Amino acid sequence: MPADPADSNATPIPAAFDQSNLTRTVLRLAWPVVIQQVALTTVQLVDTFLVGHLGADALAGVGLASILYWVPISGMMAVGIGATAVVARNVGAGNPERAEVTLRSAQMLALIWGLAMAAVYFVAAAPMLRIMGAEPAALNQGVDYMQAAALGIPFYSVL
């Protein structure tokens, strides 16, 4: 396989790259991901807290639906992680145009994934929860939650 032209343009890491610079750089790059993960966990925690006051059936339905919600999230995370690596490589190689194309392509792919997953989750909520073993009362609660959550998937996908 021929070498990627971006490899020959990469700037070498300076020998004097000290620990304080590395720590500062990692923190600067990591904080958006940390905030996103904390926000996602907080939303699920608040959902569980609020639904817990509606009874065991509602809590069971939302619990099952929340587990299934990780499938579209995992797909979106995969696109984001892959795009981040390619964008960083192109920026580091001095190819901002290629980085921009990669970013736009990743956003479009994530949006398509989000729309597809939202449609599947909205239409197939009941069968998916039945496969998970939801009892009838929990099934109804889970379907309501899953369909409502499905409406937000496309918006979350492009974050």
pLDDT tens per residue, range 55-80: 999 999 999 998 898 899 889 889 98
7 occurs within a structural domain: no
Domain count, the chain: 1
- Is 36 or 128 the better-scoring residue by pLDDT? 128
Distance from the Cα of residue 99 to its chain's centroid: 20
Q: What mean pLDDT is predicted for residues 104-120?
A: 95
145 occurs within a structural domain: yes
19 occurs within a structural domain: no
53 occurs within a structural domain: yes
144 occurs within a structural domain: yes
17 occurs within a structural domain: no
65 occurs within a structural domain: yes
Q: What mean pLDDT is predicted for residues 84-92?
A: 90
20 occurs within a structural domain: no
Of the candidates 53, 72, 50, 47, the residue with the CA atom closest to the CA atom of residue 128:
72
Contact present, 106 and 81 (Cβ < 8 Å): no
The C-alpha atoms of residue 71 and residue 76 are separated, in whole angstroms, by 9
- Is 19 or 107 the better-scoring residue by pLDDT? 107
- Burial tier of 102 (Cβ tally within 10 Å: 0-12, 13-18, 19+): buried
Task: Provide the mean pLDDT of the chain.
Answer: 86
Segments forming the whole domain that contains residue 77: 36-157
